[in-house]
Homo-oligomer: A and B are copies of this chain.
């Protein structure tokens, strides 16, 4: 085994340097959802390239797509007998709004206590920088890497990666690998090392309801036309029944049932009702009857309203009967649900249930398929051992509620499975105001990645 103790020592003593790299990346408002940040998106891609340069990666390219560019780099000098790891990451982030709820500016990263606060600190600029920090520690102490590396860092994950799949299709050779490392998963808690082995898929929609041709006076016309805000509410209210089950016909048809063994495994996760009440601050839990919270999040498809808008929403009152109402919603899917099929089901359902008193339109923003990876393949075993080495306890195996569609794409297009670590915590407030990264966990994560690279190289290459 190579001299990994020196690399661990380096990683421990250079945390401030790693943190400076992370801050320089969080500093760039690379919000992919809105065209106004296009320049910042390019700046973020360039910053990733710069960080690649610092750890000696080669063939660094900012490659255009029809949307935001993809950053590629590689280092292929470990020898053909050593495996090639394709590291996936994304440099884009969610919008920061509502801005007024942030305690420090979202794109001026600030350390308070054990946390770095800033949009993207946890999701996932911190995770990308963790991998690069582990590489830096190895390179600084070992002079070279024990594995071959390729990096693929995209800028459209937060908008559903619309151009990633065609990119991978067009660059199969450039991206060929034995395993993919995707540190976009997370941990159950700071003291519970976690390996995620399944991910939910996703489909995004917007339902627009149109009533009268223009806003009407609610007194002069109230009571004779179907208020679009009301019609929309009726549709949304009807999307679940009293048991929390989605009512759209066919929605559950492709859902793989949970095995008894899997339910037993999930029951061992340290996440009961009290845990989720504390994490969310909700007054009570809610959801599909007959399933535990971890089952509902990891192994059941769900439907969430992401936004509502209609009429007058300022201070005070306005006696308006609005012409228009819209809801943004998304479904989280589990294997073997397909987003396009789900879109079709919603279209048919709405056509059947929305009354002729209003007009409607369903926008489909795309999505990604659900997937499951093999927790027993060599890289997964190496990661489980590396996590145990860093934390001193055996990691738990978890099905993740979030979506990482690239995992299914890489399985399908490159024939490579993915290992899904990640050092974010459930209360990192990703996608919310005051997103943060727990720095002690992040530091252990960097060490775990150092262990992983050496272990996987030893396991596979000998």
Contact = CB atoms under 8 A, between A and B. Distances in A.
Contacts of A312: 95, 97, 306-307, 328
B306 A433 contact: no
A124 to B, nearest CB: 12
Contacts of A234: 233, 236-237
Interface string A132-148: 00000000000000000
B238 A237 contact: yes
Contacts of A432: 214-217, 320
Interface string A327-356: 110101000000000000000000000001
Nearest to A424: B220
Interface in A290-340: 293, 296-297, 300, 302-322, 325-328, 330, 332
Interface residues of A, number: 99
A30 interface: no
B309 A224 contact: no
B240 A204 contact: no
A34 B314 contact: yes
Given A237-B237, A357-B286, A222 B327 contact: no
Contacts of A4: none
A431 B431 CA distance: 36
Interface string A236-272: 1111100000000000000000000000000000000
A29 interface: no
Contacts of A158: 318-319
Interface stretch (A5-13, A173-181, A274-282, A381-389): A274-282
A225 B286 CA distance: 5
Interface in A193-231: 200, 202, 204, 211-227, 229-230
A104 interface: no
Contact of A202 (B221, B237, B319): B319
Given A33-B317, A309-B309, A430 B200 contact: no
A240 B230 contact: yes
A300 B223 contact: yes
Given A217-B432, A281-B214, A287 B401 contact: no
A160 interface: yes
A215 to B, nearest CB: 4
Contacts of A113: none
B297 A322 contact: no
Interface of A: 33-35, 94-95, 97, 101, 158-160, 186, 200, 202, 204, 211-227, 229-230, 232-234, 236-240, 276, 279-288, 293, 296-297, 300, 302-322, 325-328, 330, 332, 356-359, 365, 400-403, 426, 429-434
Given A216-B280, A283-B356, 15 more contacts: A33-B314, A33-B316, A35-B315, A159-B316, A186-B220, A212-B282, A216-B432, A218-B306, A219-B400, A221-B297, A222-B304, A224-B276, A226-B284, A233-B234, A306-B317
29 contacts: A33-B318, A159-B316, A202-B319, A214-B434, A215-B432, A217-B432, A218-B332, A219-B403, A220-B402, A223-B287, A223-B288, A223-B296, A223-B332, A224-B287, A225-B280, A225-B282, A233-B233, A233-B308, A284-B357, A304-B321, A306-B318, A307-B312, A308-B309, A308-B311, A308-B325, A317-B330, A318-B431, A319-B330, A320-B432
| Ranked 7 nearest A-B pairs via Cβ | A213-B281, A219-B402, A223-B302, A237-B237, A307-B311, A233-B236, A229-B305
